[in-house]
Structure 1
Amino acid sequence: MAAPFALSLQDLAPIAEGTSTPQAMQETILLAQEADRLGYTRLWYAEHHGMPSIASSVPEILIGSAAAHTKNLRIGSGGVMLLNHAPLRIAEAYRTLEGLFPGRIDLGLGRAPGGDGYAMRALRSGGGEEFSTYLAELMAFDEDSFPPEHPYSRVPVSPGGIRLPPMWLLGSSGASASAAGQLGIGYAFAAHFSHTPPAPAFEAYRYAFQATGAFPKPQTMMCVSVVCAPTDEEAKYLSYSQAVQWALFMTGEQRRLMSPEGAHKVVLTPQQQGVIDHQSSLWIVGSPETVRDTILAKAEASDVDEVMITTTLHSYGLRRRSYGLVAKVFGIEPRG
């Protein structure tokens, strides 16, 4: 059956045990090319810092690399953690990407730090400013709308003659939904790690929405975590890498992504098992039919326009297989 919504991917550039970091970086290119071939709509990279299992610390570099190796796929950030950066730098970086790959770039923005407190201090994140202030500055740089008396009104954004790509606001609690609607940008909800029901956030976004040139109508996206394999049993076995990784991360232990064999040998503390028991209800794990039915139910409950899938597996080949199985079961037309 054909999906009643667009399907897209998020890549965290995971670094698996037994794999070098350069190999993990090369895998981002292979996955982008496979996503393009399979017919997915877009591919986004998250921004994370200080995590030995994740290589996506600088999304714009990965975006440029993936865009250069694909032809049809929209490539973007999911998202740039805006408080980590001067808004002018983000305006310059994403105008540059838009100029290099016109009509194929997305700018997703998040308010979270993308790392722990130590990483935030190393990045000098926030500087005491509010996210809304940073967002307003970013949009003012792009629109050249600072009032004449503002000191930034004398700062031209380079490269000129290019506008920022379509902007999305990322949320996990609904707090930013109305703001995204009022700004007339896209809204993406992180249902892959948030237990907050997404439907009320989408309703608030649609209610507040003001049309813009980039978004003449509301555009909603829900991100979900998926592990798909030919059978429910295999998918459940493979997903244990993600489960143990999450439990270790949430209890202060960090390491590269373990194989399922290695993960099953880990002796978990009661606290770590509790983390898995709590979080696993959000993960969609199973055969293509199981995954399809679960995604359809979640998407229908929130009436979303697009579903973005993120998959964490130790084997890069099996991760690509998972995305291929999902594309096939939803009837996505391959691009050849």
Structure 2
Amino acid sequence: MKLSVLDQSPILSGMNPHEAFQQTKELAKLTDRLGYHRFWVSEHHSTESLAGSSPEILAAHLAAHTENIRIGTGGVLLPHYSSYKVAESFRVLETLHPSRIDLGVGRAPGGMPNVNLALNGGSVPNVEGYPGQIEELMAYLHGQDPHGMDIYATPRGETSPPIWMLGSSGTSARLAADLGVSYSFAHFINGRGGTRAVERYFNYFTPSMQQSEPNANVSIFVVCADSDGHAEYLASSLDLALLKIEQGGKNNYFPTPEEALQYPYSHFEEQRIQENRNRMIVGSVEKVKEEIQELAQIYHVDEIIVNTIVTPFEDRLRSYELLAEAFELRQTETTNLKNSGNY
């Protein structure tokens, strides 16, 4: 089974955005060496606790500092942008790093409702045009001229980055199937109903110029530690952060476990935390490995994307190291980048 990474560049307590990006880069380099399959970064706007607002730029930086791991976006929020411009951005990335780039796309706002207006010149984006945008994007990526205007996405080349549609519902799954692109279900956003969505994707998949067979993966929050007790301690900060997001509060950073354990939870909040645990896998190496394998079997996929947000950062790195050991990922030696002074 393949393990991959989704990193949202969280700003931990006492840290700043520059440090958050440095941590994302360090994590990408580590997981590259450990043998993880892909590394995706997200798009969030006007969000104090998550630094990543331009995933295509961050992806370029990470691809330059890694050697083997696939680098991509999880994802570009397509309704805000021109399909042609997105295609050219990713044709540049693909030309720089052939066969290592993924283009994950989504249609969520990426922040509070006013973000839609700010990104679209004061107008609400045309979400209804999203399917057509993806078809247009795929055509440009593959060297076509979809509108007969003698316009092509450059630089053109032999390979094209695959489109991954990101979603947390059956609607997005069916759309990915109809358009013939890969599909990634966000279990870390919606902990219920995902198996039906992915099943729908497999059942209705239609071949496209991108691919002839369906391809799906699932992303989930994971906190892995040397013991169940320490994992629960670390996960308490994520529990509180998710609770505050649900309540509409403004998180300037991700809290520490100490802050989470001192928080005076109401009975309702404790229930919400338990419900949100459906979006996570938390525990020791043995427990986490077993639950990840069960998740993959339930979804009928061979790839799980891990999203770990804990503080301190060293425990985040340790969580990925423990998973790599548990699943016996094939570690690689990094030579070119090391010799060039990037390490």
State if a TM-score over 0.5 links the two structures: yes
The answer to whether residue 146 in structure 2 is matched with residue 146 in structure 1 is yes
- How many Å apart are 1:335 and its aligned residue? 1.3
Letter in 1 for 2:138: M
Question: How many Å separate the matches in 1 of 2:176 and 2:124?
Answer: 20
Map 1:13-32 → 2, pairs under 5 A: 13-32=9-28
- Aligned residue in 1 for 2:41: 45
Cα pair 1:285 1:291 within 8 Å, conserved: yes
- How many Å apart are 1:139 and its aligned residue? 2.6
Question: How many Å separate the matches in 2 of 1:159 and 1:109?
Answer: 21
- Aligned residue in 2 for 1:319: 316
The answer to whether residue 251 in structure 2 is matched with residue 246 in structure 1 is no
Letter in 1 for 2:87: A
> Is the alpha carbon distance of 1:145 and 1:282 closer, same or farther for their aligned partners in structure 2, counting shifts above 3 Å?
same
Question: How many Å separate the matches in 2 of 1:78 and 1:129?
Answer: 18
- Select 1:127's aligned residue among 125, 128, 132: 125
* Partner secondary structure for residue 56 of structure 1: coil
- How many Å apart are 1:30 and its aligned residue? 0.5
How many residues are treated as equivalent by the alignment? 328
Letter in 1 for 2:312: S
Question: How many Å separate the matches in 1 of 2:16 and 2:172?
Answer: 38
Cα pair 2:131 2:175 within 8 Å, conserved: no
- Aligned residue in 2 for 1:136: 135
Cα pair 1:173 1:196 within 8 Å, conserved: no
- How many Å apart are 1:228 and its aligned residue? 0.5
- Aligned residue in 2 for 1:173: 169
- Aligned residue in 2 for 1:156: 152
Unaligned runs of 5+ in 1: none
TM (norm. structure 1) is 0.92
TM (norm. structure 2) is 0.90
> Is the alpha carbon distance of 1:132 and 1:162 closer, same or farther for their aligned partners in structure 2, counting shifts above 3 Å?
same
State the Cα RMSD in Å. 1.8
Query: Residues 125-176 of structure 1, C-alpha deviation per residue, up to 9 Å, x if partnerless?
Result: 753342223223323433424243xxxx244323344664011111101212
Question: How many Å separate the matches in 2 of 1:91 and 1:212?
Answer: 17
- Select 2:259's aligned residue among 247, 257, 262: 262
Question: How many Å separate the matches in 2 of 1:128 and 1:207?
Answer: 28
Runs of 4+ in 1 over 6 A off after TM superposition: none
Cα pair 1:192 1:223 within 8 Å, conserved: yes
Cα pair 2:70 2:100 within 8 Å, conserved: yes
Query: Residues 152-203 of structure 1, C-alpha deviation per residue, up to 9 Å, x if partnerless?
Result: x244323344664011111101212222223222111111120332222222
Query: Residues 10-61 of structure 1, C-alpha deviation per residue, up to 9 Å, x if partnerless?
Result: 0000111111221111111110110011100000011111211101111111
- Select 1:183's aligned residue among 163, 179, 182: 179
Question: Percentage identity across aligned positions?
Answer: 37
* Partner secondary structure for residue 60 of structure 2: helix
- Select 2:87's aligned residue among 86, 91, 103: 91
